[in-house]
Structure 1
Amino acid sequence: MMPNTDVSSLSMLGQQTETAKSPEEAVLEKVPSNHAGTDYVVRFTAPEFTSLCPMTGQPDFAHIVIDYIPSEWLVESKSLKLFLHSFRNHGAFHEDCSIYIAKRIVELLDPKWLRIGAYWYPRGGIPIDVFWQTGKPPEGVWLPEQGVATYRGRG
Structure 2
Amino acid sequence: MPKTDVSGLTQLGQDTTQPTSPEEAVLERVPAGHSGTKYVVRFTAPEFTSLCPMTGQPDFAHIVIDYVPRDWLVESKSLKLYLFSFRNHGAFHEDCTIDIGKRLVALLDPEWLRIGAYWYPRGGIPIDVFWQTGTPPEGVWIPDQGVQPYRGRG
TM, length-normalised to structure 1: 0.97
Determine what percentage of the aligned residue pairs are the same residue.
80
Is the aligned partner of 1:24 residue 2:23? yes
Moved over 6 A (4+): none
Task: Report the counterpart of residue 119 of structure 2 in structure 1.
Answer: 120
Task: Report the counterpart of residue 58 of structure 1 in structure 2.
Answer: 57
Using the alignment, how far apart are the partners of 2:100 and 2:84 within structure 1?
11
Using the alignment, how far apart are the partners of 2:98 and 2:151 within structure 1?
24
Secondary structure at the aligned position of 2:7 is classed as coil
Is the aligned partner of 1:141 residue 2:147? no
* 1:35-50 equivalences in 2 (<5 Å): 35-50=34-49
TM, length-normalised to structure 2: 0.98
Task: Report the counterpart of residue 76 of structure 1 in structure 2.
Answer: 75
Task: Report the counterpart of residue 88 of structure 1 in structure 2.
Answer: 87
Shift of 1:84: 0.1
Secondary structure at the aligned position of 2:21 is classed as coil
Mind listing any 5+ residue stretches in structure 1 that lack a counterpart?
none
Partner amino acid for 1:62? Answer: A
Using the alignment, how far apart are the partners of 1:90 and 1:5 within structure 2?
33
Using the alignment, how far apart are the partners of 2:133 and 2:5 within structure 1?
29
Summarize deviations over 1:89-131 as a string: whole Å, max 9, x none: 0000000000000000000000000000000000110000000
Task: Report the counterpart of residue 152 of structure 2 in structure 1.
Answer: 153
Shift of 1:137: 1.0
Is the aligned partner of 1:6 residue 2:29? no
Summarize deviations over 1:65-110 as a string: whole Å, max 9, x none: 0000000000000000000000000000000000000000000000
Summarize deviations over 1:26-54 as a string: whole Å, max 9, x none: 10000000101000000000000000000
Q: How many residues align?
A: 153
Superposition CA RMSD, Å: 0.9
Partner amino acid for 2:3? Answer: N
Secondary structure at the aligned position of 1:86 is classed as helix
Shift of 1:153: 2.7
Is the aligned partner of 1:34 residue 2:33? yes
Summarize deviations over 1:119-150 as a string: whole Å, max 9, x none: 00001100000000000011111000000011
Is the aligned partner of 1:101 residue 2:100? yes
